[in-house]
């Protein structure tokens, strides 16, 4: 059953969230020869020492959050003005097979079944009760990974969006895909829209913060195009950063 949320009253009956929690470089420096006949020049020791001292330390990989930490990092209740946020623990039956295969990461995210599966997952459903988003619903899925896998999820989506414009599979009708402008939040972010033939488009924003991937999946209940509310993204990423 797809994660697709139906409009208004059918939302809870048709939405599906992430899969059950499953367990889940080389040296790039180039040796450059001096031009023929030109002496090789080394930096003075003091200069080299200074440069080494001023070079930024590589960012340490973040550890994956455990189940309790992930739940604590999730929004709840009325923490965001104009939204009612509830836990949404339903689990999916699994994603479909996209054809062509290059589109598979998009279908996997549509069904909240990214590969690899997250170590831990916590799902939310945010109903907009006021403002420009009133009448819409946004699924939020917080997914704990080892950081290299978290980075890979975003890279896979970005690669798919370069070559995937439409695909069959997963739902009865053809689905078109379109990249969107990602918000400047977290450590990395990807945004896109998916539209199944005969239905209104759905909006996705996927953000990585350290070793955690957060999916926002917005469905419009008003007949207008869906849009992931920026205030939800900002609030969730802000709370996650404090975890």
Over its length of 243 residues, how does the chain's per-residue pLDDT go in tens digits? 344 433 333 343 334 343 333 333 344 433 333 333 333 333 444 443 444 445 445 567 889 999 999 999 999 999 999 999 999 876 665 678 999 999 999 999 998 899 999 999 999 999 999 987 788 899 999 999 999 999 999 999 999 999 999 999 877 779 999 999 999 999 999 999 999 888 888 999 999 999 999 999 998 766 677 899 999 999 999 999 998
Distance of CA 69 to the CA centre of its chain: 18
How far is the C-alpha of 175 from the C-alpha of 204, rounded, in Å?
14
Phi/psi for 176 (5° steps) reads: -100, 150
Pick from 198, 229, 3: nearest CA to 110: 3
Q: Tokens in use for 22? A: 């499953």
* Predicted TM-score of the model (pTM): 0.77
How far is the C-alpha of 17 from the C-alpha of 164, rounded, in Å?
23
Phi/psi for 241 (5° steps) reads: -65, -25
């Amino acid at each position: 059953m797809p994660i697709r949320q139906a409009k208004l009253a059918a939302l809870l009956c048709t939405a599906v969230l992430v899969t059950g929690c499953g367990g889940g470089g080389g040296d790039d420096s180039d040796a450059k020869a001096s031009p023929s006949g030109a002496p090789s020049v080394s930096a003075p020791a003091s200069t080299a020492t200074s440069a080494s001292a001023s070079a930024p330390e590589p960012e340490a990989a973040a550890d994956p959050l455990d189940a309790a930490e992930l739940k604590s990092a999730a929004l709840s209740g009325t923490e965001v003005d104009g939204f009612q946020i509830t836990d949404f623990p339903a689990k999916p039956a699994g994603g479909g097979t996209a054809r062509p295969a290059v589109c598979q990461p998009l279908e996997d995210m549509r069904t909240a079944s990214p590969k690899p599966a997250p170590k831990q997952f916590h799902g939310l459903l945010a109903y907009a009760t006021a403002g420009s988003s009133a009448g819409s619903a946004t699924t939020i899925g917080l997914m704990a990974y080892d950081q290299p896998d978290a980075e890979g999820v975003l890279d896979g989506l970005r690669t798919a969006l370069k070559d995937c414009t439409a695909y069959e599979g997963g739902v009865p009708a053809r689905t078109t895909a379109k990249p969107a402008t990602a918000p400047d939040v977290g450590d990395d972010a990807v945004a896109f829209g998916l539209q199944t033939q005969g239905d209104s488009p759905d909006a996705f924003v996927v953000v990585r913060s350290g070793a955690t991937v957060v999916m926002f999946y917005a469905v419009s209940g008003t007949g207008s195009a869906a849009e992931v509310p920026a205030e939800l993204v900002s609030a969730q990423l802000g709370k996650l950063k404090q975890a």
